[in-house]
Copies of this chain bind each other. A is one copy, B any other.
Amino acid sequence: MSLSTKMPALTSHDRRGDPCLRCGARPESVCGVIDDCDLHRLSAASVVTAFDPGTSFISEGEPAEHFFNVTDGHAKLYKLLPDGRRQIVGFARRGDFLGLAVSKSYAFGAEAIDRVRVCRFSRRKLEALLDDFPALERQLLKVASNELVVAQEQMLLLGRKTARERVASFLRAREERPVPCGDGTGRVPLPMTRGDIADYLGLTLETVSRTLSQFKRDRLIALPTLSEACLLDREAVTEIAEAAGTAL
């Protein structure tokens, strides 16, 4: 990748050579609020790293020395109980910022699902960046607020929804916006395992599997491969997810 990028000797203000400038994650990430001409500050503060599938790159409870910006791949974020019970608190994809939980130690662990690429910032350097770019800080506040809303929605799911409703909600939430599945039905990539989905929805993997099979039998979805679902009847799935049919 790095070969043949004919770069004129790097000056602090580089014209087109800055890696952040070409980063595919930039438009979907907090970096988007930084002007092109300031991007070199970002790239100077960050280290690009990649993790193989299954690699755990954040450990719950460890000192939080780094922040991560995911530029490619998927990761699961989880919390554990001493006896091994696991709750996945979120999945991170391109553009997601990890480590927002500004405290002494990480509030959750993170493990790569497929091959994950990240920009890593040290705590110190990120704080310096925040001082210099108020827009970045405001963007982080916005991101954190949105995460909070998502987390509250998940609490409703975990506390009050049935298995059917949870799985339907999950499918709707992970549906990709731009890419419909064949004839306009929603395409849902599922890079994680059924067990991961179960630990995200507060169910067992058997219940997730059974419910997906049920949806398939009812022609609500199709499962062309293990790692992809198609919403054949978006309307119906949405209704189940929002528990709309059971009202009254």
Contacts and interface: CB of A to CB of B under 8 A. Distances in A.
A151 interface: yes
A185 B85 CA distance: 30
Given A86-B160, A141-B137, A248-B83, A100 B155 contact: no
Contact of A82 (B108, B201, B243): B243
Interface stretch (A47-55, A113-121, A142-150, A218-226): A142-150
Interface in A116-153: 130, 134, 137-138, 140-142, 144-149, 151-153
A82 B246 contact: yes
B202 A158 contact: yes
A71 interface: no
Contact of A146 (B89, B103, B152, B244): B103
A244 B89 CA distance: 21
B246 A89 contact: no
Given A141-B102, A160-B202, A155 B153 contact: no
A8 interface: no
Interface centre among A89, A108, A144, A149 (most CB of B within 10 A): A144
Nearest to A142: B102
- Say how many copies of this protein the assembly contains: 2
Please classify how large the interface on chain A is, using the bins under 10, 10 to 19, 20 to 34, 35 or more. Answer: 35 or more
B101 A145 contact: yes
Contact of A87 (B103, B156, B244): B156
A66 interface: no
Contact of A242 (B82, B145, B158, B202): B82
A9 interface: no
Interface centre among A81, A152, A153, A244 (most CB of B within 10 A): A152
Interface in A81-109: 81-83, 85-87, 89, 100-103, 107-108
A192 B148 CA distance: 23
Which 3 pairs across A and B sit closest by C-beta, in order of nearness?
A: A159-B202, A158-B158, A82-B247
Given A85-B243, A130-B138, A160-B202, 12 more contacts: A81-B156, A81-B160, A87-B159, A101-B148, A102-B145, A107-B152, A107-B153, A137-B137, A147-B148, A151-B155, A158-B158, A159-B201
